[in-house]
Structure 1
Amino acid sequence: MRPAAHPVGRLLGQVWLWPAVVMLGVGLYRLGTPELWRDEVATWTVATRSLTDLLRLLQHIDASNGAYYLLMHGWTVVFGDSVVALRLPSVLAMAGAAAFVALSAERLFGGRVAAVGAGLLFAAVPQVSRYAQEARVYALVTCAIAAATWFLLRALERPGWRRWTPYCVAMALAGAGHLISFSTVAGQVAVVLLHLWQTRGAVQRRLLWQFPAAVAVSALPVLPVVFMGSRQSDRQLGWIETPSFRLLVRFGEHLAGAPHVFQALALLALPALVLPGRRVQAWQALLLAELPVVSVWVVSRGGTSYFIDRYLLFTLPAWAVLAGGGLAAVYKAVTGLARRGRTPRQARTVGVLLAVVLLAVPVVAALPKQSAIRHVSSHSDSEEPFRAAADLIAAGYRPGDGVAVPLGEQSWAMVGPGVSYYLPSDVRPYPVFVAESAAEAEDLSPTLCAQPAACLGQGPRIWLLVLGDTTDPLSAIPPEQAQVFRARYGAPDRVTPLGGVTLALLDRTG
């Protein structure tokens, strides 16, 4: 009798382990280097409120992110609110997603080549790294959908409530995290139908009612989020443009974060789709990747648009699974050819070497982008120098100073809380032109004072922050505010454009 393998040996032999470890390392690399951008600042300012204030806010805005905010509230209580602490849940989630990618590829295509290759390809995609290092919900949703895919594949093989239950849990978590992720059901329907077509078994016909029932059960916990989110969608999503057909065609390039990387993934996927062996499984993976994107594109054409790459990040695991299947198809074909005149071991070596070379193509193509997304300001599409502004204010701060930040229609920029995050704990200028704090207003931003003169305060100095680079910051604020400043302080004594934001000091003591 062969002796039982050591537990460590069994662990090291698991196909999901190395993709998860690699993804964890990729996610942790320079995790704290990029500065928080406005969406991450929103996570911080909501998660660090009291639980009562957080729940009140969700009644007015961002209910669709409520589950994530509640998670982060508990997380920050335990682990703090440093940049690394805020982003660590996303790193762990992407490592989990890589593990489930490997498991799904193994179940669909069989063998270690498909499994490990798919997991490593997933970790190499620039957008995966980008959102593994972001304090937002997208990585957690990606992990939940990747898990739901694996649980679905298991349930298809042997239907039963023990296998449908984890699928329901994963889908419910994904839907609570981001409603758009439920569009993956469009791809899952195709997976189920292709499975039924391939098996045609009497037992499998139970799937015709079990799968819809599982989807319905998954949706029940998400219904409150749907109800609350639908009332807030115009305010939160009005900035997303209606997508064109050209954007749909080229969406994969945006989804991967680099055109060459997506093109390499697509080329790797082709062998799985055309070579004999696992073509049905390859089409299952392709439809799982594409149908959610198409369905969201169609919906976005008719009203509120949801068509943006990070909202559909959860479709990347299916692309990685398909590309892993392509590696496995090439490996199988080359190994078969190499066996002529060679030993089986030599043939396998040839196949593995070719698979490694093919795997290296998208990895090498991703390296420039992988470096770029770890730059200090790489998380924002526009410059948001919150730390630079905070450093200047801290260096020149005097007790009794005030600060005026963009409010009202410009509050989306999150300049006030963004700068506040990077200020030392003993540097707290009082807010100017604020009628209610964000917590009091039960919103992401403070309420703008209707009478600027009444909300100016008595501070001898005011730090003024305006959007854009300018030498005349008073011209960049509402005229009634500028008039009050000119009457009491005159012209700014110091104006510093920081690249995206200008900081000025108004000083009536000078």
Structure 2
Amino acid sequence: MDDESGPVRGGAARALALLQRTVWLWPALVTLGLGVRGSWRPELWRDELATWSAATRSTGDLFDMLQHVDAVSGSYYLLMHGWISLFGDSPTVFRLPSALAMTGATVFVVLAGRKLFGPWAGLFAGLLFAVFPSVSRFSQEARSYAFAVLAVSAATWLLLRALERPTVLRWLPYAVSVTAAGYFHMVSLCVLAPHAVVVLMRWWRERRARLLIGFPAAVLVALLPVVPLVLLGRKQVGRQISWLHTPNLQDFVNTWHGMFGSPLISGCMLCLAALPAAWPKGRRPAVEIGLVAAMPVVLIWEVSQGQTSYFLDRYLLFTLPAWAVLAGAGLTALRPRVLVALGLIGTAWLGLQDQQNLRVRTAHEWSDEKGAAHIIAKGYQPGDAVVPVRGDAAYMMLDFALDYYLPKNVEPKDVFAEKTAAQRHDLFAQECQQPESCAAGTKRVWVVTYGSTDDPYKGLSAAEVKVLTSEFHQDEVKHVQGLTVTLLERKTANG
């Protein structure tokens, strides 16, 4: 019996050791699966359309645009420019880099949890992170937020490694990850504040002078390449986030829920995050990772009370890895053990409805731009023109949406655009100052406006409406969700 049981125990030990070494793999696969699942369904919304417009320009045109607007997103736009050139721009392919970035972030969540609290805490932290609805949401959005989450999660784990053995070879990758965080989203550099406090806490306890040399040197090396971007970004801040208002307490609550993508899960995470502090051996790491989770939220709140606000749930996503590590450690602390499995399953169940809502057509944008493009494509004739409403609704980027969803062989002229966004090196076209001359020679015009009212010219300028009503007659009017599509034909000499 002993001879037979020995190999069995040895095999079980090897299997357990293998599981602990690859503990990061399973949460990463869950994140990737949820990130890709249904990513083709939601229509692109205005921010993703800005990405598409920028990334599909030539490299020269893209750099020209970044001198005027959105410089802080330049690194991401360049990455997406290369990605689209290689793989195309269908919705799933277009969003796949974000899913891959979140998958990478999950790996670092697991590694940080394992280093601070052990392999099981790392596993559960990764699984919790994977089922956050906001993680799935921003895995399916063609914006840079997932990359900022990846960079910050990597930086936190690399910091923990460097604190164990503060050598140049360990500080250097930390510096690279901090630089990446700055290039993908400058607000995420707030993580340096809690990182600095963690370094000071370790130094106070261990009195290793190398910590006080290595960390500042690494931060200096990391921030030097970001300085030009910071200076250029400050010049453009009025165009980027001027719409954000000074946050109040209700905004704080809404932002907290939005960070996790579910009010139920956000409350659950707050409870789980408090549990690791109850461990005698878990208090120090809980305080450290708790600072990384909470301190940026407080700092950005305080800064946002000034002239410019940065307090927005998607700007704070980079704190989610630390919250997941805390919650994973708290979940592991539950007794009896059956509560651990129930807690994980319960968390996933609480977010199930939110996960489903993320994958419907209107998850990102309420109006049906794809449906409007389908109407135009179905009735298109060579030489047709299009008038997408701009004016006060220019920020909705309806012109980009129509360009994206129209087939390649359907190319109506944007008749009231005197200069396209690309020609202006901007994200917005320059509207025609003399609509009558711009419409000259056009026989048919597709007018697309927001709303489903009886007024198919809603939102257009008075000069544009005058040209369209005096020189054209309505041939047909169709509605899709949130949009009105009107086909106009030029009046004949007989009226």
Instruction: Name the TM-score, length of structure 2 as normaliser.
Output: 0.93
* Rounded Cα–Cα distance in structure 2 between residues aligned with 1:226 and 1:50: 24
Give the aligned partner of residue 485 of structure 2: 503
Give the aligned partner of residue 120 of structure 2: 113
Residues 142-191 of structure 1: CA deviation (Å, up to 9, x unaligned) = 01110001000111111111111111111101100111110111221232
Give the aligned partner of residue 470 of structure 2: 487
Give the aligned partner of residue 44 of structure 1: 52
2:31 corresponds, among 23, 33, 50, to 23
Give the aligned partner of residue 364 of structure 2: 379
AA paired with 1:462? V
Shift of 1:476: 2.9
Shift of 1:8: 13
Aligned length: 483
Q: Does 1:177 align with 2:165?
A: no
Q: Does 1:284 align with 2:284?
A: no
Kindly indicate whether the alpha-carbon contact (under 8 Å) linking 2:73 and 2:184 is maintained by their aligned counterparts in 1.
yes
Residues 53-94 of structure 1: CA deviation (Å, up to 9, x unaligned) = 111000000001000000001111111111111101001011
2:134 corresponds, among 122, 127, 133, to 127
Give the aligned partner of residue 259 of structure 1: 263
Kindly indicate whether the alpha-carbon contact (under 8 Å) linking 1:432 and 1:457 is maintained by their aligned counterparts in 2.
no
- SS of the aligned residue for 2:447 comes to strand
Give the aligned partner of residue 206 of structure 2: 201
1:448 corresponds, among 431, 451, 463, to 431
* Rounded Cα–Cα distance in structure 1 between residues aligned with 2:268 and 2:326: 12
* Rounded Cα–Cα distance in structure 1 between residues aligned with 2:126 and 2:393: 42
Alignment of 1:354-503 (within 5 A): 354-380=339-365, 383-490=366-473, 492-503=474-485
Q: Does 1:155 align with 2:166?
A: no
AA paired with 1:227? L
Kindly indicate whether the alpha-carbon contact (under 8 Å) linking 1:76 and 1:86 is maintained by their aligned counterparts in 2.
yes
Shift of 1:11: 7.6
Give the aligned partner of residue 186 of structure 1: 193
Kindly indicate whether the alpha-carbon contact (under 8 Å) linking 1:495 and 1:505 is maintained by their aligned counterparts in 2.
yes
Shift of 1:254: 1.8
CA change 1:443–1:11 in 2 (3 A) is farther
Kindly indicate whether the alpha-carbon contact (under 8 Å) linking 2:247 and 2:305 is maintained by their aligned counterparts in 1.
yes
Kindly indicate whether the alpha-carbon contact (under 8 Å) linking 1:142 and 1:313 is maintained by their aligned counterparts in 2.
yes
Alignment of 1:331-346 (within 5 A): 334=335
AA paired with 2:38? R
CA change 1:11–1:69 in 2 (3 A) is farther
- SS of the aligned residue for 1:494 comes to strand
Instruction: Name the TM-score, length of structure 1 as normaliser.
Output: 0.91
Residues 238-285 of structure 1: CA deviation (Å, up to 9, x unaligned) = 111211133225532121111110111122222202232211111112
Q: Does 1:314 align with 2:318?
A: yes
Structure 1 runs not aligned, ≥5 long: 335-349
Give the aligned partner of residue 146 of structure 1: 153
Kindly indicate whether the alpha-carbon contact (under 8 Å) linking 1:88 and 1:133 is maintained by their aligned counterparts in 2.
yes
- SS of the aligned residue for 1:294 comes to helix
Q: Does 1:34 align with 2:42?
A: yes
Alignment of 1:229-268 (within 5 A): 229-249=233-253, 251-268=255-272
Give the aligned partner of residue 74 of structure 2: 66
AA paired with 1:251? T
* Rounded Cα–Cα distance in structure 1 between residues aligned with 2:16 and 2:64: 48
Shift of 1:412: 1.0
Answer with 385-394 or 497-506: which moved more: 497-506
CA change 1:249–1:403 in 2 (3 A) is closer
Answer with 276-285 or 309-318: which moved more: 276-285
Give the aligned partner of residue 305 of structure 1: 309
- SS of the aligned residue for 1:301 comes to coil
Q: Does 1:272 align with 2:273?
A: no
* Rounded Cα–Cα distance in structure 1 between residues aligned with 2:238 and 2:221: 28
* Rounded Cα–Cα distance in structure 2 between residues aligned with 1:281 and 1:85: 39
Residues 189-241 of structure 1: CA deviation (Å, up to 9, x unaligned) = 232233334xx223x23212321221121111111211111111101111112
Residues 349-373 of structure 1: CA deviation (Å, up to 9, x unaligned) = x52x331112122111010100001
- SS of the aligned residue for 1:473 comes to coil
Q: Does 1:99 align with 2:107?
A: yes
AA paired with 1:113? W
* Rounded Cα–Cα distance in structure 2 between residues aligned with 1:458 and 1:367: 54
* Rounded Cα–Cα distance in structure 1 between residues aligned with 2:122 and 2:111: 6
* Rounded Cα–Cα distance in structure 1 between residues aligned with 2:279 and 2:18: 32
* Rounded Cα–Cα distance in structure 2 between residues aligned with 1:286 and 1:201: 20
Kindly indicate whether the alpha-carbon contact (under 8 Å) linking 1:31 and 1:84 is maintained by their aligned counterparts in 2.
yes
Shift of 1:395: 0.8
* Rounded Cα–Cα distance in structure 2 between residues aligned with 1:501 and 1:8: 57
Shift of 1:494: 2.2
- SS of the aligned residue for 1:99 comes to helix
AA paired with 2:142? A
Shift of 1:493: 2.9
Shift of 1:489: 0.6
Give the aligned partner of residue 53 of structure 1: 61
Kindly indicate whether the alpha-carbon contact (under 8 Å) linking 2:390 and 2:460 is maintained by their aligned counterparts in 1.
no
* Rounded Cα–Cα distance in structure 2 between residues aligned with 1:467 and 1:249: 31
Kindly indicate whether the alpha-carbon contact (under 8 Å) linking 1:495 and 1:504 is maintained by their aligned counterparts in 2.
yes
* Rounded Cα–Cα distance in structure 2 between residues aligned with 1:270 and 1:58: 43
* CA RMSD, 1 decimal: 2.1
Residues 280-314 of structure 1: CA deviation (Å, up to 9, x unaligned) = 11111211111111111111110111111111111
CA change 1:445–1:11 in 2 (3 A) is farther
* Rounded Cα–Cα distance in structure 1 between residues aligned with 2:16 and 2:29: 15
Shift of 1:375: 0.6
Kindly indicate whether the alpha-carbon contact (under 8 Å) linking 2:391 and 2:460 is maintained by their aligned counterparts in 1.
no
Shift of 1:475: 4.3
* Rounded Cα–Cα distance in structure 2 between residues aligned with 1:257 and 1:501: 28
